[in-house]
């Protein structure tokens, strides 16, 4: 497999010779296009389904069963799958095994019925252990949690749950989480996905569940790099004044990035402060490292790229055009900061302030080139405003939180398709 392509785009194609320059730089990480005869690694999947009583509402359990059956249909005999169900009790409905009896698996899933409370941590633990017992280092090992409620039985402390998910990721088992309805804890599910090197999905209607499962499976099948990180180096007096994309930074200074998935570019914007430059110079270098699936043991690889740029007079620099791709990303990231204020206002029950911040977001993105991503963002703001007008505060919070999650991962606010 070829390494990802790193594309560096400065907001303007020069810096100042006679003044300090504030320069926004867009890094695009483009996962490689596979060879024609690309063979995906085997998948070791643990499906963890919430069967608590609230799943009976709005046909959520019906759609969850159908989505799980769809996932089974997409797996190959070389893959493994397990199914764990939980309410206040935890049951391994299907122990981890190769996918050789699809009709039998489907029949057992169709027999699941809702009941009881929500032992979310215990259900996830049991499902993740099913995956951990058969970790394939040459494959992709994932626990996929689906819940419509709050953790109210067993371990309920979010920090303890997040720590356990991170420890399981250290054993080779990643975690994705799907939140369904209005009552689940989106902060917890996002934290689990982040700690588990997986993905978080918000399902506004249970009809979306089959598409979500397909998205997750497609992402697993197309994953070319895991445990991805970014390091930044500067030179010639340049400094990183800010990373506009909200990324988790490790104590070592490395930034955590989402997995490399075919067809899913990652966009990162860095703001540099550059002193006057007399000559063309290399101002910064980006280093991306990742773990490549395949083989008997994970292999780490890396790829680097540098920004080389020439100086011009300050008067000339101010006349240079701003790259539209950088302008788009900067505007969307600035709007994402206002999104935090929307969420905070909703948490206070202050719909008026939340709508005010939505208006500010519109003003910010109105300055950006009118791309498909900007149009999608505007449409989503209208949807959230309508939710607030109807008093649907919980739904509005989940929608904005989910978009913030995607923006933080450099994928944009449009959920993956």
Share of the chain above pLDDT 70, in %: 95
**pLDDT of 150 over the 70 cut:** yes
The end-to-end CA distance of the chain, in Å, is: 24
Quickly state the pLDDT bin for 49 (edges 50, 70, 90). very high
Q: Which residue has the higher pLDDT, 376 or 312?
A: 312
Whole-number pLDDT of residue 66: 84
Q: What is the pLDDT of residue 19?
A: 95
Under 8 Å between Cβ of 324 and 311: no
pLDDT reported for residue 294: 63
* Range with lowest mean pLDDT among 124-133, 295-304, 324-333: 295-304
The yes-or-no verdict on residue 415 having pLDDT over 80 is no
Phi, psi (5° rounding) for residue 13? -80, 25
Structure tokens at 177: 């989480």
Q: Does pLDDT of 185 surpass 90?
A: no
Mean of all residue pLDDT scores within the chain: 88
The CA distance from 298 to 170, in Å, is: 13
The region of weakest confidence among 42-46, 180-184, 313-317, 387-391 is 180-184
> Measured at the alpha carbon of residue 244, what is the angle toward residues 242 and 246, in degrees to the nearest 5?
110
Q: What is the pLDDT of residues 91-145, one digit of tens each?
A: 999 999 999 999 999 999 989 888 888 888 999 999 999 999 998 877 789 999 9
What is the dihedral sign for C-alpha 312, 317, 323, 327? positive
Query: What is the pLDDT, as a whole number, of residue 320?
Result: 96
Residue that has been written with the tokens 């919070």 in this structure: 397
Contact 362, 378 (CB under 8 A): yes
- Percent of the chain having pLDDT more than 90? 53
Q: Is the pLDDT of residue 326 over 60?
A: yes
d(CA 279, CA 302): 29
- Decide which of 269 and 151 is more confident: 269
pLDDT at 417: 34
For 187-197, what is each residue's pLDDT tens digit? 899 999 989 98
pTM for the structure as a whole: 0.82
User: 318 pLDDT exceeds 50?
Assistant: yes
């Amino acid at each position: 497999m070829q390494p990802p392509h790193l594309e560096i785009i400065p907001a303007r194609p020069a810096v100042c010779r006679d003044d300090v320059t504030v320069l926004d730089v867009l890094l695009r990480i483009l996962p490689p296009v596979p060879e024609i005869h690309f063979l995906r690694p085997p998948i070791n999947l643990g499906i963890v389904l919430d069967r608590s009583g609230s799943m009976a509402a709005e046909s959520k359990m019906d759609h969850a069963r159908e989505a799980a059956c769809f996932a089974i249909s997409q797996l190959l005999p070389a893959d493994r799958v397990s199914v764990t169900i939980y309410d206040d009790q935890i049951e391994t409905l299907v122990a981890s095994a190769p996918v050789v009896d699809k009709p039998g698996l489907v029949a057992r899933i169709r027999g699941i019925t809702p009941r009881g409370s929500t032992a979310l941590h215990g259900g996830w633990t049991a499902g993740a252990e099913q995956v951990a017992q058969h970790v394939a280092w040459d494959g992709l090992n994932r626990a996929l949690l689906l819940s419509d409620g709050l953790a109210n039985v067993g371990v309920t402390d979010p920090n303890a749950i997040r720590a356990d998910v991170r420890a399981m990721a250290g054993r080779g088992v990643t975690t994705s989480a799907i939140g369904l309805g209005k009552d689940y804890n989106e902060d917890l599910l996002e934290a689990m996905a982040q700690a588990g090197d997986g993905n978080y999905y918000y399902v506004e209607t249970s009809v979306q569940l089959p598409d979500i499962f397909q998205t997750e499976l497609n992402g697993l099948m197309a994953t070319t790099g895991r445990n991805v990180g970014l390091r930044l180096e500067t030179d010639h007096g340049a400094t990183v004044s800010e990373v506009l994309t909200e990324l988790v930074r490790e104590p070592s200074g490395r930034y955590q990035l989402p997995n490399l998935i075919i067809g899913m570019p990652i966009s990162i914007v860095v703001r540099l402060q550059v002193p006057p430059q007399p000559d063309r110079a290399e101002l910064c270098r980006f280093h991306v490292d990742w773990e490549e699936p395949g083989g008997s043991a994970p292999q780490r690889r890396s790829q680097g790229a540098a920004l080389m740029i020439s100086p011009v007079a300050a008067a000339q620099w101010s006349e240079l055009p701003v790259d539209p791709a950088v302008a788009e990303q900067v505007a969307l990231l600035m709007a994402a900061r206002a999104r935090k204020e929307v969420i905070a206002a909703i948490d206070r029950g202050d719909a008026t302030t939340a709508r005010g911040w939505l208006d500010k977001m519109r003003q910010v993105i109105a300055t950006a080139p009118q791309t498909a991503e900007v149009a999608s963002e505007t449409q989503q703001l209208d949807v959230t405003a309508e939710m607030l007008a109807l008093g649907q505060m919980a739904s509005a919070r989940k929608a904005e939180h989910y978009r913030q999650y995607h923006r933080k991962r450099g994928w944009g606010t449009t959920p993956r398709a």
